[in-house]
């Protein structure tokens, strides 16, 4: 009897060799046809790749019409092995290119064991000593509003970040934002989450103080309950309204208020009209006051309307009632005075009595204005 006939009867694959031929090629021992049809009973079974008793019989045998796991040489070829060419693999008989290695993002925090250095694109190492228990540099930058962590990593890799005066290129550098000075493109940022910077639009009839023994309304009433102790930068008199800066950054507040640093303040003043055409020149040349001369840095007329005029005046002087006294001495008393800008920070559309947090850019600009 031919091997193909045995395959039909046993229902197993003809993967072995017969005494006179190869069942896998479909040849019978009696020199049957190349199509692999057996001359035995049933005649419909095929050896090797043919069918056996209505079920498929191949390199992996078949039992009751179900495929069984691959075995032998053909089964091993269906696993994952190295390909014939570098950078390739062979899986299930198909050659494929290997995917490039993927670096895990340093943003992922794997706990206390995640202490390995992450170098920038150039693999450069700096001499900055990591702070034990510190915060990853890109996380500090993102929390300060500089950008997303991915964008901050790109800034670090590009050498745009300094910590205590040293350029840092490691993504995983650990810093103390409360103690160390961090700069982006040469400008200092407010890295500590403990520091608070607030803009207030002070209404008229409010004292620039945090408490008053006579029960008058103060700026503390406008700030509400805050955990931080804030300092006001300079003062506005009782009837003057407009922009005030408050913060718990003592060094910055001191420099912004000190005349040595010449931080400019801009005001809108409602004065009587008409006034001489050289009023601006007079104010910028200097007005003699009881406590010494005072001068404006800039002056412009915003609007004229009958007997009133709206002017804008900018100066770095910080003496008490300085704008009111200068214009009164020039013969044009002020009926309303609004401060619209302090250094790089503008009042904008902030409504009267409201507050807002300064942006990271505004804080950085304030640092730059006073040389920090």
DSSP H helix total and E strand total for the chain = 9, 24
Tell me the sheet residues that pair with 231.
247
- Same-domain check for residues 255 and 353: yes
CA 96 to chain centre: 37
- Whether 351 is covered by a domain: the verdict is yes
What average pLDDT is seen over the chain? Answer: 77
* Residue (of 321, 318, 324) closest to 342 by Cα position: 318
- 243 near 340, Cβ under 8 Å? yes
- Whether 12 is covered by a domain: the verdict is yes
Cβ-proximal residues to 46 (8 Å cutoff; 6+ apart), any chain: 4, 7, 26, 35, 36, 37, 38, 52, 57
- Same-domain check for residues 255 and 281: no
Helix orientation angle between 250-257 and 360-369, rounded to the nearest 10 degrees: 60
Tens digit of pLDDT for each residue in 332-357?
999 999 999 999 999 999 999 999 99
Backbone angles phi, psi at 76, to 5 degrees: -65, -30
Task: Mark whether 297 is an active-site residue.
Answer: no
CATH at 213: 3.30.70.580
Cβ–Cβ contacts within 10 Å for residue 136, how many?
Answer: 23
Tens digit of pLDDT for each residue in 172-191?
899 999 999 999 999 999 88
CATH at 289: 3.30.2350.10
- pLDDT reported for residue 305: 86
Backbone angles phi, psi at 35, to 5 degrees: -75, -10
- Residue 358: strand, helix, or coil: coil
Q: Where do the H-state alpha helices sit in 164-263?
A: 219-223, 250-257
Q: How far apart are CA 102 and CA 285, in angstroms?
A: 67
Exposed/middle/buried for residue 47 (C-beta within 10 Å: 0-12, 13-18, 19+): buried
The radius of gyration computed from the CA coordinates of the chain, to the nearest angstrom, equals 42
- Same-domain check for residues 273 and 321: yes
Confidence of residue 301 (pLDDT cuts 50, 70, 90): very high
Query: Interior CA angle at 275 toward 274 and 278, to 5°?
Result: 145
Exposed/middle/buried for residue 129 (C-beta within 10 Å: 0-12, 13-18, 19+): exposed
* Residue (of 266, 269, 365) closest to 316 by Cα position: 266
- Same-domain check for residues 16 and 160: no
Give the pair of three-digit tokens for residue 75: 């089964």
Instruction: Identify the domain containing residue 39 by its residue range.
Output: 1-70
pTM: 0.64
pLDDT at 103 over 70: no
- 273 near 306, Cβ under 8 Å? yes
- Same-domain check for residues 238 and 364: yes
Q: What Cα–Cα distance (Å) separates residue 159 from each residue in 89, 104, 162, 321, 322?
A: 39, 21, 8, 47, 45
- Same-domain check for residues 231 and 360: yes
Q: How far apart are CA 178 and CA 197, in angstroms?
A: 15
* Residue (of 340, 337, 338, 341) closest to 369 by Cα position: 341
pLDDT at 130 over 50: yes
Task: Check 107, 126, 237, 365 and give the catalytic one.
Answer: 237
Confidence of residue 170 (pLDDT cuts 50, 70, 90): confident
- Whether 104 is covered by a domain: the verdict is no
- pLDDT reported for residue 274: 85
The residue from 139, 167, 193 where one domain ends is 193
pLDDT at 268 over 80: yes
- pLDDT reported for residue 107: 47
Q: Specify the residue for token string 């994952």.
A: 80
Cβ-proximal residues to 98 (8 Å cutoff; 6+ apart), any chain: 87, 88, 89
Terminal Cα distance for the chain, rounded: 100
Cis, peptide link before residue 358, omega less than 30° from 0? no
The residue from 145, 173, 193 where one domain ends is 193
pLDDT at 259 over 50: yes
DSSP characters for 240-297? Answer: -EEEEEEES-HHHHHHHH-GGG---EEEEEEEES---TTHHHHHHH-EEETTEEE--S
CATH at 149: 3.10.290.10
- Same-domain check for residues 238 and 291: no
Q: Where do the H-state alpha helices sit in the chain?
A: 3-10, 72-77, 137-143, 149-157, 219-223, 250-257, 279-285, 322-329, 360-369
- Whether 301 is covered by a domain: the verdict is yes
- Same-domain check for residues 172 and 128: yes
């Amino acid at each position: 009897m031919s091997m193909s006939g045995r395959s039909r009867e046993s229902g197993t694959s003809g993967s072995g060799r017969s005494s006179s031929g190869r069942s896998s090629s479909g040849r019978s021992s009696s020199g049957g046809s190349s199509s692999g049809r057996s001359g035995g009973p049933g005649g419909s079974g095929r050896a090797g790749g043919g069918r056996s008793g209505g079920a498929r019989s191949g390199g992996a045998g078949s039992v009751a019409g179900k495929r069984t796991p691959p075995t032998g040489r053909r089964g091993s070829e269906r696993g994952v092995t190295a390909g014939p060419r570098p950078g390739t693999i062979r899986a299930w008989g198909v050659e494929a290119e290997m995917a490039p290695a993927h670096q895990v993002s340093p943003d992922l925090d794997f706990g206390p064991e995640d202490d390995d250095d992450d170098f920038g694109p150039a693999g450069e190492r700096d001499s900055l000593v990591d702070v034990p228990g510190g915060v990853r540099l890109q996380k500090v930058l993102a929390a300060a509003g500089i950008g997303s962590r991915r964008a901050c990593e790109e800034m670090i890799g590009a050498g745009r970040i300094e910590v205590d005066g040293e350029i840092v290129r490691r993504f995983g550098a650990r810093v103390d934002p409360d103690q160390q000075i961090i700069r982006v493109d040469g400008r200092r940022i407010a890295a500590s989450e403990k520091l608070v910077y607030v803009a207030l639009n002070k209404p008229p009839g409010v004292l620039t103080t945090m408490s008053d023994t006579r029960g008058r309304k103060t700026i503390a009433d406008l700030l509400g309950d805050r955990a931080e102790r804030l300092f006001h930068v300079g003062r506005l008199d009782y009837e003057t309204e407009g922009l005030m800066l408050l913060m718990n950054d003592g060094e910055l507040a001191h420099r912004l208020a000190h005349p040595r640093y010449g931080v400019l303040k801009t005001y809108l003043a409602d004065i009587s009209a008409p006034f001489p055409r050289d009023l601006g020149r007079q104010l910028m040349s200097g007005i003699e006051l009881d406590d010494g001369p005072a001068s404006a840095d800039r002056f412009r007329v915003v609007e004229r309307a009958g007997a009133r005029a709206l002017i804008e005046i900018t100066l770095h002087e910080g003496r008490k009632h300085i704008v009111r006294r200068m214009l009164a001495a020039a013969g044009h008393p002020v009926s309303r005075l609004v401060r619209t800008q302090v250094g790089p920070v503008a009042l904008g559309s902030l409504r009267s009595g409201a507050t807002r947090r300064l942006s990271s850019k505004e804080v950085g600009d304030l640092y730059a204005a006073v040389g920090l």
